């Protein structure tokens, strides 16, 4: 279902004309499995090899929102290699079918308007990705300093301890606490390997 409130910010006729066949303007681009009506389609990218958690979260939400349009072929997942960013993923979206704008195109435009209004499509998913990323960073940063026999979720416990005892560290957008912040947490939790 399309949320029409978001579409009011666009001149949809102009946007549709701009997007349909946009791939023909890409430099050094080959679309070898393009559909017969490729002129009616747009290529859009959602993320690449170097995307951050925000882009990955939004890409996952976009994929979920566009899923219903894959069955009739109005949305086709695309994966393209690129010399600068390694690879890019996104979709071929049919903009026009029989001269009319498709629902898939309207859903894409709704998603773009939502992103223009607020940069996160799914707060819960984004938060979860950041948490998992922070826990991985803790494991990587100080895993060698952890004694044998600690609980499997020791890094999660370190993050929770920091949230309670040093909240400025977990509120930092870097999601990669410094060792000087992590070692007191390991000591307090009894996870630090004794020298």
pLDDT tens, residue by residue, 18-33? 999 999 999 888 888 8
Can you tell me the distance from the alpha carbon of 146 to that of 179, in angstroms, rounded to the nearest whole number? 12
Q: Report the distance separating Cα 18 and Cα 29, nearest Å.
A: 18
Per-domain boundaries in the chain: 4-121, 124-189
The first and second tokens of residue 41, run together, are: 């389609």
Is 83's pLDDT higher than 90? no
Do residues 95 and 41 make contact, with C-beta atoms less than 8 angstroms apart? Answer: yes
Residue 174 confidence (pLDDT) above 70: no
| Cα 66 from chain centroid (whole Å) | 14
Give the model confidence (pLDDT) of 116-164 as tens digits. 999 999 999 999 999 999 999 999 999 999 999 999 999 999 999 999 9
């Amino acid at each position: 279902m399309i949320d029409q409130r978001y579409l009011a910010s666009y001149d949809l006729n102009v946007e549709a004309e701009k997007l349909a066949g946009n791939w023909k303007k890409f430099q050094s681009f080959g679309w070898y499995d393009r559909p017969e009506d490729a002129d009616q389609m747009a290529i859009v990218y959602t993320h690449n090899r170097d995307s951050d958690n925000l882009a990955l979260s939004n890409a996952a939400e976009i994929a979920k929102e566009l899923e219903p349009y894959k069955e009739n072929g109005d949305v086709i997942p695309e994966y393209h290699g690129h010399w600068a960013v390694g690879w890019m993923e996104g979709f071929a979206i049919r903009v026009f079918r029989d001269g009319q704008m498709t629902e898939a195109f309207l859903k894409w435009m709704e998603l773009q308007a939502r992103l223009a209004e607020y940069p996160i499509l799914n707060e819960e998913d984004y938060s979860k990705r950041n948490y998992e990323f922070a826990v991985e960073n803790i494991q990587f940063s100080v895993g060698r300093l952890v004694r044998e026999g600690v609980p499997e979720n020791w890094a999660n416990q370190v993050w929770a301890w920091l949230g309670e005892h040093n909240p400025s560290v977990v509120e930092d957008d870097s999601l990669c606490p410094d060792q000087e912040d992590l070692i007191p947490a390991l000591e307090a939790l009894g996870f630090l390997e004794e020298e």
